């Protein structure tokens, strides 16, 4: 089927290609639209789609003659060069194909940045202005990227007021991105608002600006105020315990490696601020699962500032999601040189890749080996190793390391409730309910509004037929805290079912099925409620459908097959 789909795609592509270019692909009287050229171009496009950039480049180089006649080829070829880090070649190609009459976003971007780096601001701005225009190559960034780049061009020329005026021209939809660049401009010009603007960004609750605690600390270090820098990172680590950049920065500060932090980013260097701008764009595309475009902007970011190597963590993640495991492992290995935080992070991800490529056993063995190399493991190492064991269903080992994490952590730390929660659910999977219940109750004593734990403990009680009233109230609370969560709504419906309020159960379970239609357990709960309301035909229809669901386990299928024959015995309905 896959081969057939590719064959159909090829035919469709070929027809469009011929129709679009039938009058332009002639050279010196000879038709260059040969079968071989078409095949090479098509193979290049397929290689791009499969994220095989090396292969794509080899095919594209065989049909470079298309550059004068086929704009789509130019886009793919230029992007491929950038993705492979061949910046000089990409610049030469951009110069060769650039046409003042035709908007070509990638070409103008590279040429403009190159002129900018050469301090030829007149020519750089000529290209940057073109980036503001909507075209078939630039559908989204009207008056955005170009204005940010022009702002930094003016700043580099010492034109302070003009640089801020270009930032103000940026449309409102990009406000959360331009606030950061505005703040960097304040830092560049060393204004009185430099510190204030960064602090306002960090306090903003509309977006996750946790990363910008690093830039505020970096600013204080540039002022030789190491104490304020340390305090900023210490406070931010309490709020964002899993942020890698903040974690590594804390380590560097505690070990007085200040120069390594300021080497990552310098607000007095416009290139560094622009590199951060393109890194943010790369993050946006990655969140939309457009990993090729994300990697393109990451490469642009690296082109401008290759010292901020922590950013390569995003590149490694993109490679992983693209299933380019060797490339991902190579990048993760390069991250190890940054420091202990990124080294351990890289080890975890390399181990995860081994689990994908080989077996869980290989994956766990790899991380165990890396853990033994740690000189002085802290509570986070124990916690993260326990999480890794839990994810790979080594529940006994996960309990052991969650316990060691609890021994090492400060009892007032915000992570304590989460460790009790995770150890409790591991105990539950081991069948040790008494220990599980104690940990889940302890977790709720510390964080009474944790909807996940409320749901897990209450559902477990209800499934056992105990604490039904208390469980129902807990689930009502969880549903209020996290509205629209299909799993919590299912638990709430199941609580009403356990209390024999089948009409109320049906209402919530139907909603849960609407939110999670492929979940076999939720469908089974809903069918049970329907049966108890004498809606037997509907119940049997849903049970039959569950047998077709991929996620349905054999044990559940066996139970449902019996229900299809015998239904559910209605005792004291």
Q: Confidence band (pLDDT; 50, 70, 90) for 142?
A: confident
**What is the third-level CATH fold of 1-102?**
1.25.40
Residue 69's pLDDT is 61
CA distance 268 to 513: 55
Check pLDDT > 60 for residue 538: yes
Least trusted range by pLDDT, from 98-102, 285-289, 541-545: 98-102
465-520 pLDDT per residue, tens: 999 999 999 999 999 999 999 999 999 999 999 999 999 999 999 999 999 999 99
Residue with tokens 């199941």: 494
517-531 pLDDT per residue, tens: 999 999 999 999 999
| Residues 277-282: contacts with CB under 8 Å, at least 24 apart | 277/148, 277/177, 277/180, 277/181, 278/304, 279/308, 279/311, 279/314, 280/177, 280/180, 281/177, 282/314
Check pLDDT > 60 for residue 258: yes
Return the CATH number of the domain spanning residue range 467-573.
1.25.40.10
Structure pTM? 0.84
CA distance 306 to 14: 40
Residue 134's pLDDT is 62
Check pLDDT > 60 for residue 147: yes
- The mean pLDDT of 201-210, rounded to a whole number, is 88
Please give the structure tokens belonging to residue 569. Answer: 């015995």
Neighbours of 403 (CB within 10 A): 13
17-74 pLDDT per residue, tens: 444 444 444 444 344 556 777 777 778 788 887 878 888 788 778 777 666 666 788 8
CA distance 281 to 288: 11
CA distance 269 to 261: 15
Average pLDDT, the chain: 90
Q: Where in the chain is the domain with CATH 1.25.40.10?
A: 467-573
CA distance 210 to 238: 11
- The angle formed by the CA atoms of residues 526, 532 and 533, to the nearest 5 degrees, is 90
HSE-CB at 47 with a 13 A cutoff on CA atoms is 19
Which is it for the CA torsion 53, 59, 61, 65, positive or negative? negative
Check pLDDT > 50 for residue 6: no
- The angle formed by the CA atoms of residues 54, 60 and 64, to the nearest 5 degrees, is 140
418-453 pLDDT per residue, tens: 999 999 999 999 999 999 999 999 999 999 999 999
- Are 397 and 427 a contacting pair, CB within 8 Å? no
Output helix, strand, coil percentages for the chain, rounded to the nearest 5: 75, 0, 25
Q: Confidence band (pLDDT; 50, 70, 90) for 138?
A: low
Who has greater pLDDT, 245 or 15? 245
């Amino acid at each position: 089927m896959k081969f057939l789909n590719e064959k159909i795609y090829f035919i469709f592509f070929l027809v469009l290609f011929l129709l679009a270019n039938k009058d332009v692909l002639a050279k010196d009287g000879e038709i260059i639209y040969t079968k071989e050229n078409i095949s090479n171009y098509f193979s290049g496009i397929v290689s791009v789609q499969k994220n095989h950039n090396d292969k794509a480049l080899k095919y594209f180089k065989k049909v470079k003659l298309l550059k004068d006649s086929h704009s789509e080829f130019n886009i793919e070829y230029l992007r491929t060069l950038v993705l492979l880090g061949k910046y000089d070649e990409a610049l030469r190609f951009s110069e060769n194909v650039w046409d003042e009459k035709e908007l070509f976003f990638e070409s103008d971007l590279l040429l403009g940045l190159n002129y900018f780096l050469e301090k030829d601001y007149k020519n750089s701005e000529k290209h940057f202005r073109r980036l503001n225009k909507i075209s078939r190559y630039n559908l989204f960034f009207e008056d955005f990227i170009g204005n940010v780049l022009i702002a930094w061009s003016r700043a580099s020329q010492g034109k302070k007021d003009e640089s801020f005026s270009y930032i103000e021209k940026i449309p409102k939809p990009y406000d959360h991105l331009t606030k950061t660049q505005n703040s960097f401009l304040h830092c560049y010009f060393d204004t009185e608002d430099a510190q204030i603007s960064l602090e306002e960004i960090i306090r903003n609750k509309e977006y996750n600006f946790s990363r910008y605690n690093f830039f505020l600390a970096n600013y204080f270090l540039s002022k030789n105020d190491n104490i304020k820098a340390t305090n900023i990172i210490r406070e931010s680590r309490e709020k964002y315990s899993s942020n890698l950049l903040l974690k590594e920065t804390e380590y560097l500060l505690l070990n007085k490696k200040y120069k390594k932090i300021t080497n990552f980013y310098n607000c007095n260097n416009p290139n560094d601020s622009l590199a951060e701008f393109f890194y943010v764009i790369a993050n946006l595309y990655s969140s939309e699962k457009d990993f090729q475009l994300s990697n393109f902007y990451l490469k642009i970011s690296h082109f401008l500032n290759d010292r901020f190597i922590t950013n390569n963590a995003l590149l490694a993640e993109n490679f992983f999601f693209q299933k380019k495991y060797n490339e991902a492992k190579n990048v993760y290995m390069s991250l190890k040189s940054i420091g202990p935080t990124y080294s351990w992070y890289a080890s975890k991800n390399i181990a995860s890749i081994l689990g994908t490529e080989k077996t869980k056993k290989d994956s766990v063995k790899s991380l165990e080996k890396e853990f033994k190399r740690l000189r002085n493991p802290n509570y986070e190492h124990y916690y993260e190793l326990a999480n890794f064991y839990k994810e790979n269903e080594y529940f006994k080992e996960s309990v052991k390391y969650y316990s060691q994490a609890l021994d090492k952590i400060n009892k007032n730390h915000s992570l304590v409730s989460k460790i009790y929660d995770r150890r409790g659910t591991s105990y539950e999977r081991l069948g040790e309910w008494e220990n599980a219940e104690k940990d889940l109750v302890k977790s709720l004593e510390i964080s009474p509004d944790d909807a996940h734990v409320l749901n897990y403990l209450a559902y477990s009680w209800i499934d056992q037929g105990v604490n039904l009233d208390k469980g129902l109230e807990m689930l009502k609370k969880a549903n209020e805290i996290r509205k629209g969560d299909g799993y919590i709504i299912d638990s709430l419906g199941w609580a009403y079912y356990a209390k024999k309020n089948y009409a109320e159960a049906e209402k919530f379970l139907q909603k849960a099925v609407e939110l999670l239609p492929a979940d076999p357990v939720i469908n089974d709960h809903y069918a049970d409620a329907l049966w108890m309301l004498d809606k037997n035909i509907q119940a049997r229809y849903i049970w039959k459908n569950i047998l077709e669901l991929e996620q349905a386990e054999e044990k559940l299928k066996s139970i449902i097959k019996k229900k299809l024959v015998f239904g559910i015995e209605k005792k004291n309905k």
